[in-house]
Chain A
């Protein structure tokens, strides 16, 4: 590939795309390129980067919305939010650790990949926070969808289709999203020594209590010391996050700790330790290990995650920990990616999907990164793709 296209305006981007469509020239769409190793290998002749479509367009803290050009670095967005004690509530992960990439993640890349972290269980995913978009479709047409208000059902929701489309339906040029106040206080309750099944039951119980748990993860024994130090009791650590007003967090922490203390030794982590812990969970820290060992991100029903891992352990070398009350499983395979076995087992436990986040080039060449869809859904997705990108020039192969 030669030099990347780096348009500085939507009009310029549209011109480039229109010409590429005319010439049948495939384009690899990137933001900061920090997740470029993700998804299937793209077969493209040119890179089209949103990097120079950059800058916060409007930020109205009182209305809790921000609009930014798609190539705006995440760091710039986070700094502006922090200045007003606000945040992206869906906690997008920083993939640089596990992927071993450098670069500057962009807000467009976050929404294009629908990246969400631990608070997903209560606050929703990236797609739940995206209010409006501007994008250029594969015919070079500039389109808008959604808006900047919290509730909007005007017309068909193209925002949802573009969010998570990994650059295969259009080039996002501008995104408008919801932001939320940073919680003034936070604490984490940790229970030690529970096995996976016990932990999943305990997390389900915690989420049935009126204490508003905003993070529920189970850090298995093999990874636990990467998260929680050895000054605490031994064994796996089951962690539950509480956030809100200081007095309220304190009261709820006592309640939750009391409930936990009946089944395991339990302790409470303060705000600083809480913030670090959940950032590490968000970024799958134990697997930011500088290796190419196959890393899977599995999404299943919360009570099914540990059943899947138990079944896999009988067959192959695997290391795992759980977020999302047990429903998000980070799986690192010791040797083979074992895609077929993994995907077969997932079907057996009631469905979900496995995404190959990292692997060597050789493995990625033969294993589809995304779970193959059932035939009628795949047909529908192919028709959608065709309606946005009739010439098939955006990220060919990425999701297929």
Chain B
């Protein structure tokens, strides 16, 4: 296990009071809502960034907003760090606890509270899974647009924490563009509501600031999200290319031509092999790169869009074009794509990068990524949201070999620096967490970060909310 990323030093004053804290929390919470035995705590020691682990002091699993508020009020009173947690699928270590922290998990708050078709909104508790929302409204012809590949497991609270995206965000936007309001609890137990069913709030856009704040500004307990009418039809089409560069430049030209498909997903040869073995989706195996392009609308509309896209693909030397012929085939195509990370996890350990680059840089960054990976003697599979330049190189390594793990981490850092240097950013949808924290100064100046930290302190003056994340440990304001 690599040890390059540090956590904050645990507070001795908190560790020393461990027994008392557990007793007090047991008084605050109903029976069955507190975990404090080592065996029960272990499942919470990491998230999907499995290279790092920290067993928390205790895990609180409140059932109501009032209970969340009571726990936070208690923790702020004694300066106890708090780590909010949804399903723990964060790929950047955003939900990894620390040894002096109380984890507040939202898993028991998983009810859908209100579905309002006339106003096209749904209000849900933060622990509701992403897919649950779409499933609940599907029969009436609606859906909730942001669809992270982890949507079977991840929660709306976690989606808000990371401002998560997904394959279909190219057209519909990410979480922040589909979030109407939240109820949340601040560090000291104050409950506030931001936004609501009205489209625009006024005053400072605190809702927009909270979305993507990685659990540092408070704990979201309820969310109101926007529902959309399902399109008349959707059709994913596979485009195989003999080089990644051709696929990359095809993406740039499709977008540049003014056509906006619902999704453009990219897989390179290793990713195609992994996903095809898992899902038998009928991906072409003899190509170097594959694009899944999805169009939607009426039959005529899909035909017209596809005709233009196929024209462009031909100009970029497309080798295979395969249209899905049935709903089952379409579902398989997406199953293959959405299980890419899980399927990769079955053949090797991996860390998933998340840099985003301008589309004109896509081919260049793919080529450079391959060179970096070669330089470290590692393997990589690329599978990502190409339409908005959001790259996901999966760096394969062996978690039990510390040297291999250190190499993977170093290669990942090089790739992220490459993305920033190409005019992009460190993370498009997975968040900074601990993973990219120490690279922040590559993208921002200390003055930029100081302003962010000052704004953070407006919400959490004590810095108890998920404090080891996002901001480099050096250069923080001294308490």
Binding site for B on A (CB under 8 A): 60-65, 85-86, 114, 116, 120-121, 124-125, 127-128, 137, 141-145, 147-158, 160-161, 163-165, 169, 180-181, 200-201, 204, 207-210, 212, 244-245, 247-248, 251-252, 299-304, 324, 327-328, 350-353, 355, 370-371, 373-374, 376-377, 380-381, 383-388, 399
Listed stretches B19-27, B77-85, B95-103, B228-236; interface member: B228-236
| Contact size range, B | 35 or more
A279 to B378, CA, bound (A): 56
How far does the alpha carbon of A314 sit from the alpha carbon of B357 in the complex, in Å?
56
**Given contacts A153-B431, A248-B301, A374-B192, are A210 and B169 in contact (CB under 8 A)?**
no
Question: Which residues of chain B have C-beta atoms less than 8 A from A399's C-beta?
Answer: 203
Chain B 224-245 interface 0/1 with A at a Cβ cutoff of 8 Å (1 = within): 0000011110000000000000
State whether B256 touches A63 (Cβ < 8 A).
Answer: yes
Give the CA-CA distance A49 to B142 in the complex, in Å: 46
Checking A60, A303, A384 against B360 with a beta-carbon cut-off of 8 angstroms, the contacting residue is A60
Q: Are B428 and A153 touching (Cβ within 8 A)?
A: yes
A167 to chain B, nearest CB (A): 12
Selecting from B43-51, B331-339, B404-412, B436-444, the interface stretch reads B436-444
Q: Contacts A137-B451, A328-B199 known; A155 to B165 CB distance under 8 Å? A: no
**B388 in the interface (beta carbon within 8 A):** yes
Within 141-185 of B, Cβ neighbours of A (below 8 Å) are at: 141-142, 162-163, 165, 169, 173-174, 176-177
Instruction: Name A's interface SS.
Output: mixed
Give Cα A394–Cα B471 distance, bound, in whole angstroms: 28
B388: chain A residues within 8 A (beta carbon): 149-151
The reply on B479 being an interface residue by CB < 8 A is: no
Most interface-central of B141, B431, B452 (chain A CB within 10 A):
B452
User: Which chain A residue lies CB-closest to B298?
Assistant: A251
Q: How far is the CA of A125 from the CA of B459 in the complex (A)?
A: 25
Min CB gap B460→A, angstroms: 11
Which residues from chain B contact A137 at a C-beta distance below 8 Å?
451
Given A143-B451, A210-B229, are A153 and B212 neighbors across the interface (CB < 8 Å)?
yes
Interface centre among A114, A245, A251, A387 (most CB of B within 10 A): A387
From known contacts A148-B358, A153-B428, A376-B190, infer whether A62 and B204 are also in contact, taking CB-CB under 8 Å: no
Q: Are B202 and A353 in contact (CB under 8 A)?
A: yes
Interchain CB contact under 8 A, A145 and B206:
no
A209→B393 CA distance, assembly (Å): 38
Nearest-neighbour CB distance to chain B for A228, whole angstroms, equals 24
| CB-based contact A145/B448 at 8 Å | yes
Tell whether, in the assembled complex, residue A299 and residue B198 are in contact, meaning their CB atoms are under 8 Å apart: yes
Chain A neighbourhood of B468, CB < 8 A: none
B294 at the interface (CB under 8 A from A): no
Closest-CB distance, A203 to chain B (whole angstroms):
9
